Structures are given as structure tokens and as C-alpha cells.
Amino acid sequence: MISRLPIIGVMGSHEQEWTEFSEPLGRLIAEQGYHLLTGAGAGVMTAVAGAYTAVKKRAGVSIGIVPTVDYEGHYSPGDEYPNPYIEIPILTPLDKKMQSDSMPYSRNYVNIMTSNAVVILPGEHGTKNEAALSIMFKKPMIMFGPEAAFTSFPEHAERAQAIEQVAAFLERIAVKIGTSEN
């Protein structure tokens, strides 16, 4: 029988790794026995997946949602996707990000809809869009990082500056996300 593990989506900057947050988060998700889902790229996505896969005795796998088209809609798998820590790459015919939040043709929708719970690290437009989608799809979400990095993010979202707060968030929702069909 297959054991269905919760999928924890981690969203954040493509440019910066935010290692002081992403590395302990990757280890925590692995040690808690969850799957990890990212956008399969650089920055936070590489750092969190690297820390996750460094935990050798874990139940879950590192899943990456890989964009395969550029902003003009041309096929472009790119050398940066998936990062080397993605164990299950999911190739999509979707753009890296869309400039219009109202257009559902980006992998942000897949990232959020596939996740049972979402941890948002600091990031820019795409990350803000994923936070908004988490709210729209009623996904349990927490923002993890320095408060100043989230000034333009939804104000009512739960926030954490310490890994212990994220651990408590995951523990609180573990029963719900472990049986959720979301």
C-alpha cells in the first residue's frame, strides 16, 4: 500500500537563496516526513531542495514544477531547470511567471494547487502571486523570514522569523494536511 505523504510547497526568491531560512526549512520538512515541492529553479528553490535532499533517511521526495516556455511562449527548457536537487521533475508547458496575476498560465497555479500547505520565503512578484494564490485556494500558509521582507505581502497571513514557529505551524496542520485531498 502506498503511503500518501503531505506535500509542503516552498516558494521564494529565484535570485537569493536566503540560506538562513531555506536550509533549516528544507531539513525540517525532510525530518517531518513530508514531500517538498518547489518551482525547481535557483535561489530559495535550490537552497531548500539541497538541504532537504541532504537528509538521507527521509520518507518524502523533492518535487519540482519545471517551466518549459519563455515569456514569448517558445519552448525553452533552460539549463537552470530543474536544479540538481529535484528528484521528481514535473515538466509543464507553462511560463516561469506571468506578468498579469489574472492569467492562469504560469506554474504558480500548479505550485500552489499541488501543495497541501505553503511556506513563503522572501521573494518578488512571483512569490507575492503565490501568496495571493494560497489565500485564494485556502491553503494553509506561513511566511518565513524577516518581517521587512514581507511589507508588500498580504498583511493577515501568519508570519514566522524562527524555524520553531514553522515547526509549530506544520505540527498544527499535520493531521489536516495528512488526510487532505486538496
Specify whether the CB–CB gap between 10 and 18 falls below 8 A: no
Q: Which of 38-47, 49-58, 166-175 has the lowest mean pLDDT?
A: 166-175
pLDDT on residue 181: 43
Give per-residue pLDDT as tens, 61-72: 999 998 876 656
Mean pLDDT (whole number) for 76-97: 80
pLDDT at 67: 83
Domains recognised in the chain with CATH numbers: 7-175 (3.40.50.450)
Instruction: Return the pLDDT at 57.
Output: 93
Helix (H) or strand (E) holding 62: strand 62-66
Of residues 102, 103, 126, the one with CA closest to residue 9 = 126
Q: Average pLDDT over the chain, rounded to whole?
A: 88
Residue 149 pLDDT greater than 60, yes or no: yes
| Full-model pTM | 0.90
CA distance linking residue 121 with residue 24, whole number of Å: 12
The residue-averaged pLDDT of 135-160 equals 94
Mean pLDDT of the 16-23 span: 98
